[in-house]
Amino acid sequence: MASRTAAATVVVLALVCAVQSSLSVAAATGGLSPDFHAATCPALEHIVADHVWKAFKNDSGVAPALIRILFHDCFPQGCDASVLIEGPGTEQDEIPNRTLRRVALDLIERIRATVHTECKATVSCADITILATRASLIMAGGPRFDVTLGRRDSFFPASKDQVGLLPAPFHPVDTLIKSFGDRGLNVEDLVSLSGAHTFGVAHCPAFHDRFKDGFDTNPAIDRRFATMLRNKCAKDTPEGTLKQNLDVRTPDVFDNKYYFDLIARQGLFKSDQGLMNHTATQRMATRFSLNQDAFFQQFSKSMAKMVNMDLLTGDKGEIRARCAVRGTPPRIESAVTNDDEGIAADM
């Protein structure tokens, strides 16, 4: 009898331990897991891959467009699809978001529609944005990064102040290190994630500081490159309509040529070129120019980190019915605050 009780106690203890350790794993990853949707939406990754491949075949620019949208989603208030909300007073209304590309925003919404038809509203726009970005990155030649799933969408766009946290192209490296640091991203993350400027485009207003009042000397820009940019942007009317490739060597491929550009002083933004001109970043940027595997490895690590910034999980936030349209948080008087999105649903 006593031994049966003891055995039962052992079993109970073992169960408690098992539950506790799975709880602490869940807590460590915020309740996310790689197979979060496996039972409720087994075809998810197929649906994503299918849509992304069609879009990529039509316009490979959808890959850089997606990863920039993801960065702009995650950095201000976390990866919660807040950047996808449209209308006055949203993030898309703020200057840094005015050049997010329609072709990628529409793709995300098309995927959302198919997924919700096949699986009901079980997958958030935030998870879809990440899966679509990952698929397109591989199509463009880039590395695969690990993702855990189960994010929820925000009820609210990020505030103007939060969007203001996004780094600017004219920022010196010290400022970039500080702004990434404030968001839990380190110097390795800054140097590798900036490598996303190895594909995609920019518009003249984003880089005319590099040649407007004489050629930039801090850090110095290649004179022929600067002359080319100045002549090109002289024809930019109406302002902001001309496009310039971020990577002059292989503009559409995700590779390490961006770091070659920096060595040749042909980084487009001050924020790019600065990485080759600051003691905290120069060695790593040089290493990435010499070793694409090293770049890809760090990039994957840093992406996996970025997509886990400040998530809404569990019953916080919502699964948005349309990515561009915010829902209405449940009305619970005591819990209604403006600065803690999702809390109402948490009650």
Ligand X SMILES: *[C@@H]1O[C@H](CO)[C@@H](O)[C@H](O)[C@H]1NC(C)=O
Q: Is 183 in the site for ligand HEM (CB under 6 A)?
A: no
User: Which listed residue (72, 116, 171, 208) is catalytic?
Assistant: 72
**Sequence ranges of the binding site:** 73, 78, 80, 82, 91, 167, 197-198, 247, 250, 255
Shortest Cβ 102–ligand X spacing (Å): 5
103 binds, among ligand HEM, ligand X, none (CB under 5 to 8 A by kind): ligand X
Nearest partner of 216 among 268, 283, 160, 173, judged by Cα:
268
Does residue 208 have an active-site annotation? Answer: no
Spacing of C-alpha 311 from chain mean position: 13
Using CB under 6 A, list all residues that contact ligand X. Answer: 55, 58-59, 92-93, 97-98, 100, 102-103, 105, 219-220, 277-279, 282
Structure tokens at 39: 């039972």
Residues 227 and 289: beta-carbon distance below 8 Å: no
Residues 309 and 324: beta-carbon distance below 8 Å: no
113 vs 242 by CB, closer to ligand HEM: 242
Given CA atoms 265, 185, 300, 143 in this order, what sign does their dihedral have? negative
Residues between 52 and 91 that touch ligand HEM (CB under 6 A): 61, 64-65, 67-68, 71
Residues 76 and 31: beta-carbon distance below 8 Å: no
DSSP-derived 3-state class of residue 341: coil
Distance between CA atoms of 343 and 38, rounded to whole angstroms?
Answer: 27
133 vs 154 by CB, closer to ligand HEM: 133
Residues 257 and 198: beta-carbon distance below 8 Å: yes
Structure tokens at 67: 């990863």
Binding-site string for ligand HEM from residue 269 to residue 308, where x marks contact by CB under 6 A and - marks none? x-x-------------------------------------
Both ends of the chain: CA-CA distance in Å?
45
77 vs 342 by CB, closer to ligand HEM: 77
Shortest Cβ 76–ligand HEM spacing (Å): 13
Q: Is 248 in the site for ligand HEM (CB under 6 A)?
A: no
21 vs 186 by CB, closer to ligand HEM: 186
Residues 284 and 218: beta-carbon distance below 8 Å: no
Q: How many other C-beta atoms are found inside a 10 Å radius of the C-beta of residue 198?
A: 28
Q: Would you tell me which residues interact with ligand HEM (CB under 6 A)? A: 61, 64-65, 67-68, 71, 99, 101, 167-169, 171, 176, 193-194, 196-197, 200-203, 206, 246, 269, 271
Q: Give catalytic residues, as residue numbers.
A: 72
